[in-house]
Structure 1
Amino acid sequence: MSDNPMQLLSGPAAGDDERLATLHAALVERASTDSAVDATYRVVDSPVGSLLLAATENGVLRVAFEIEDHDRVLESLAASVGSRILRGGHRLDPLARELDDYFAGRRHGFDVPLDLRLARGFRLAVLRHLSEIPYGSTESYAEVAVASGSPKAVRAVGSACATNPLPIVVPCHRVVRSDGSLGGYLGGLPTKQRLLALERAA
């Protein structure tokens, strides 16, 4: 221990912050590998604003727009998958890279494993079909209902899109109304317009 009281009061040395950050990253990585956490998350910047990404050991669980309120999203995840949610680690690095490529027009689909536990029943069937809609194309809510096995469930398709836990990755932005108008979107209509324009321009 130092005999200099001023040194004791001055807090950690400059190098300590870096060592603590390295230690934290190592602990997050170890916890993720050992399944000691329920999920990890990070926030990334994108052309459509900040995106919260969350994943379990099974795959990507959640992509959330800033408009959804990231704190509320994390609270919801804690209630649904467990409260041991840790920020950091490398689990989400592949998705972050794929999103960068997508927004740069270099990627037309996502290869990361997904954890779809937040969707069930017909909503899950809808999400599975959404990934089959080709890049740069759209389908109507009615067409998605038919493809998902319930032709009359048009409103339910809208609900499934509105509660899609993995927007962009599971492309609900490619679903529009039968008259060609956009309909709603979890990230807001300007975001939906931007995503569709990005894909049309590729």
Structure 2
Amino acid sequence: MKYTNKKGSATFLMVLLVMVLLTVSIGFNWLVKEYIKSAQAFQKKAESMLKVRSAYDTLIYLMLNGKFTQKEIILPQIEELPQIESIPLNGIEVPFLEDLIIKVQDSNGLLSVTTINTVALKRLLTYFEVDPQNADTFIDSLLDWIDQDDLTRLNGAEREWYSFQGLKYEPRNYPIQYKEELKLIKEMNSELYSKIEP
């Protein structure tokens, strides 16, 4: 009769089982921590969105009940609402609620980046001493940026131009969402952007 050491194999199986259980429990622990982090981030985002929405509604209420002048909005003094005397209409920042800052800009005289008036835009660029050829290139590139096709205008730029330049982005082919997006378009540079930015 052959003798086998069953005690040694049982110890080995026990160690293997403990290692598997330990690995599973560490993985489960990590997964739970990630879910908790995600839940906390979601909670923080939701609270921030509610805070901003509340501030926006409060601001609209104060503005609608305020008095508009050429340079500012004189706000009513209402108990339990922010005690701000006025809000200038020239884009100057004003502290509002806790860590929120607001600024209001009169839109008269501003050019829209969503509905582009090419004549007015060219006049603005020429006013800031942009070469007319560069102005045409920027305007065509801007129109290429927002149109939904891949056809390049005479002086414009589509996907091929941006990839040839080694850039990691391509035209949105959709209306501009943020004014800073203009910095990404062909012929726009930081100096010109700082001049035309409201």
TM bucket, shorter chain: under 0.3
Which protein is bigger by CA-based radius of gyration?
Answer: 2
Higher helix proportion, which one? Answer: 2
- TM-score, normalising length: structure 2: 0.26
Higher strand proportion, which one? Answer: 1
- TM-score, normalising length: structure 1: 0.25
